[in-house]
Structures are given as C-alpha cells and as structure tokens.
Amino acid sequence: MSINLDQSSILVTGGAGFLGKHVVAELEQRGATQIFVPRSADYDLVSGDGVRRLFERVEPDVVIHLAAVVGGIGANRRHPGRFFYENLMMGVQLVEESRRCGVEKFVAVGTVCSYPKFAPIPFREDSLWDGYPEETNAPYGLAKKMLLVQTQAYQQEYGFNGIFLLPVNLYGPGDNFDPESSHVIPALIRKFVEARESGAESVDAWGTGSASREFLFVEDAARGIVLATERYKRSEPVNLGTGREITIRELAEKIRDLAGFEGGIRWDASQPDGQPRRCLDVQRALEFGFRAETGFDEGLQRTVDWYLAHR
C-alpha cells in the first residue's frame, strides 16, 4: 500500500539540515501539510527520553530519519567514537520507538560509507556485507548500517514497515562549507574561491587525486527519498545515485575552472584518498520511479553560484 503524504503526520529528523531542508520542500510540493522537524536543542535524539518525548509530542504516521553526525575524512578521523555512538544510538532508539508507537512507515537514510572498501564497481546492494568499510569512515558507516539490520529484524519479528536507502555523496546549494567538517565539493569550492581572491599561486588538496567518487545533486536525492517514502515497500536496501563516477583530480580541475582560479593544484599524498572508488548500481531505485535528473556540470555551477551569493 502506498503512503498518502497529504494525509500523514510526518516526522523528519535532521529536517533543518542540508538534505533535510530539501526533503521538507519536496514533501510540501507533493501535498504534505503535517510535517514536524525537531530541533536538537529541544529533543536529544541520542537519549531515549528525548526520543520518547518527541513521539509523545508528534505521534507520527511516517518517520524519515535523516539526522546524522557527519563530516569529511578529517572529521571522521578526529571523532570515530562520537560518530559511531551518536549515529548508532539515534537510529536504534528511533526505530524502537517507531515500532512501539505503531508508526506506519520508517524511512532510514544510510550512507555509501557502509559499503566494503573494495566492493566491486558498480556497488550493488547485494555487496553490502562482502567486506569491511574504508577505515577512515568505518565507524560512521557501520553505525548507519545497523539501521538496515534493525529494520529487517523488526520486519521479520514484528511486521515493521521500514526501508533503508543508500544515497551516494551529496552536494548542492546550502551545503556545509566549514573547512573543519565539509565534504570534498564544498571544501574545494571554498579553497579555490579564496585562492582566487587572495592571489595565491596554488591550492593544496588531500590525497593523490586518483580516487573516484559519484555525486548526487541534493534536490535529486530529496526527490528519491520522498518517492521511496511513498512507493517502496521492500526491506532490501536501495542505492540512490547517478551511476557515474569522476576522479577527485578531474573534480578539482572542474571546480577550479568554475571558481575562476588560474593557479595550480598541489596534491598532498601524505593525506588519505579514502575509498579507492565509488560508483553505484542504480537499477533497484527504478522500481519506485527514481532516476537522477540534474547534470553534474549544472549542479556544480549552481553550487558555486550559491556559495558566492551566500558566504
């Protein structure tokens, strides 16, 4: 049975964040009117008491769990314990409270970091358990992967209606450009813009540039999540992506050109590349009608333009 968004009370954890704002906008566009976005200052989702208070307040029919403690390679290396504990506890308690309260559908949004470090390209959902994740983000990836274990176990024992989505690296307007915690695209955009304005001769970039990544425009990701909320019914995990990869070196050169920086790029091979390659098989998402629509060059241009207008 499909979910009627216009008749459902929908709880969106992380709904004030980068992805969350776009998911809320997509829900509204598709007719949802009862959307609740909890603030961390009001509800501590790492705490069982905080989660129970939230559910008493909202009484949701649908939960879309986007909240996460997340960052780039540097942040993952600095906070592996915190990233594991807080992401695990949020997920475990939200799923349990959803089961206890009879939530109609739980949408768990995981991470591509859950895949094994050397998963065959393209990553197919069936490969998720074929090895250990890349070390720098394994605690975060494993904590998020426990949502899949829990929703499937609860489906088996309780008939719980939970789905698990695996979006690839996201980017777009409204991203996090903080150099301490940002991911690769916003980090490079900021570096190249500031280098152009300061007249620097070169920009330093982590790694060798040889690793590849796949990127999904945030508006496409939001549309995929809402479509899955409405239509996807199975407990098997689903990739959300484009099915196309680009090396970090090529990415950096694209962003350098868009930012108008004419200097060089110095690659710091003493810093980690992270996972060697990332590229998803995106066939399963076609089951509920999702296909990425935003071209990468268009999405990058819109992200650079947003940063220049809002920094």
Distance CA 299, CA 217 (A): 6
Q: What phi and psi, each to the nearest 5 degrees, are found at residue 107?
A: -110, 110
Structure tokens at 208: 């060798």
3-state secondary structure of 137: helix
C-alpha dihedral, 40 to 44 to 49 to 55, nearest 10°: 40
> Are the beta carbons of 214 and 169 closer than 8 angstroms?
yes
Bridge-based pairing state of the strands 264-268 and 202-206: parallel
CA distances from 261 to 50, 195, 254 (A): 47, 7, 10
Helices 184-198, 296-310: inter-axial angle, 10-degree rounding: 60
Distance CA 226, CA 187 (A): 28
Question: Would you list the DSSP string of 60-117?
Answer: -SEEEE-------HHHHHH-HHHHHHHHHHHHHHHHHHHHHTT-SEEEEE--GGGSBT
What lies within 8 Å, CB to CB, of 224 at 6+ separation is 165, 167, 240, 285, 290, 292
Distance CA 207, CA 263 (A): 18
43 in active site: no
Structure tokens at 177: 């450009």
Q: Which of 43, 85, 132, 140 is catalytic?
A: 140
Residues with catalytic roles:
140
